[in-house]
Amino acid sequence: MTTLPGYLPHPAASPEPLRVGRRGGTGTTDTRLLLLHGLAGSGAVWDEVWQRPPTGLEIWTADLPWRSDHVLSWSRAGEQPDWIEAALDLVPGGPDVIVAHSYSANVLLASLSARAAAGDDLADRYGLRGVVLVSPFYRRSPDDFPWDVMADMQGRFFHIMKEGIRTRSGERIDPDLRHRMAERVCERVGAYGWLRFCESYLRTPWLRTDLITVPCLVICGSEDFAARESELIATDLPAARLHLVPECGHYPMAERAQQFVDVVGAFLDDLPDGLAPPESAA
């Protein structure tokens, strides 16, 4: 694993706020993928995917500062670097495609939007050929966040944490224990982590989706509460396609790994050749 240099972590933080490592490949490399997990997750959420990738891929995963063993320290820290760009910089040669789940999909969208609005396209800078957004959160208007939405969001967040545990453990853990484990995860995220998630979500109406022109694939389970939001973001991004995975929730890469790989593989096959990133970003 490679650590972002020069970052001074919170005193209670683990020594590596950002870790990026190669997880797999299939020999001759045509495309490098960087996989980004969601809030309170880890690179392990991609375990089923990187074991069965399409041919010609080199798979990299990032353990980001909002992973389960670091989320509390990250959420309480002050000014933060751009962790998306930091992860991109740590992939030798730079990734061709980013696959981002849940909270990381929103962080990536915010970075793409801000850079594009400033006239500094992130995809052009790094030579990105495409982006895969897995189960993103998105609302078009501030009016889509009424007063009582926060209580509803908290309940849905708890459900997502419990769903993640079920997806990883199958039936090996009884429902009562899964419930208590999900409560513990939410306690680990804490008020500050929850507020960072809310802040990201509440800012989605101001995303400059019209300026995010990199080819995008939006994947979401049909049973995920955010399925409608995935449909909206896919409609609002100029070069996006949508794939809803039937009878699946918030973690399609784990629940329907082979289908997920097939859909991503088809998306990659359709991508145009990308430009080489500048030497500074390689």
Query: Taking 90 as the threshold, does the pLDDT of residue 227 lie above it?
Result: yes
Q: What is the mean pLDDT of the chain?
A: 86
* Helical spans, DSSP H, in the chain: 47-50, 71-76, 83-89, 103-117, 122-126, 149-169, 175-202, 227-236, 252-255, 257-270
Does the pLDDT at position 183 exceed 70?
yes
pLDDT tens digits for range 33-83: 999 999 999 998 998 887 777 678 889 999 999 998 899 899 998 888 899
Q: Output the furthest CA–CA distance in the chain (Å, rounded).
A: 53
pLDDT-based confidence at 27, cuts 50/70/90? Answer: low
More confident residue, 266 or 15: 266
Q: What pLDDT, on a 0 to 100 scale, did the predictor assign at position 15?
A: 56
Q: Are 124 and 36 in contact (CB under 8 A)?
A: no
pLDDT confidence of 164, banded at 50, 70, 90? Answer: confident
Q: Are 108 and 100 in contact (CB under 8 A)?
A: yes
The whole-number average pLDDT for the span 160-186 is: 82
Residue 3 has pLDDT above 50, yes or no: no
Q: Which has the higher per-residue pLDDT, 14 or 165?
A: 165
- CA–CA dist 142, 49 (Å, integer): 35
Q: Domain limits of the chain?
A: 2-139+207-271
Q: What is the CATH number of domain 2-139+207-271?
A: 3.40.50.1820
Tens digits of residue pLDDT in 243-252: 999 999 999 9
Cα distance between residue 245 and residue 223, in whole Å: 8
pLDDT number for residue 4: 36
> 169: which 2 tokens?
């453990």
Has residue 90 got a pLDDT over 70? yes
218, 243 Cβ separation under 8 angstroms: yes
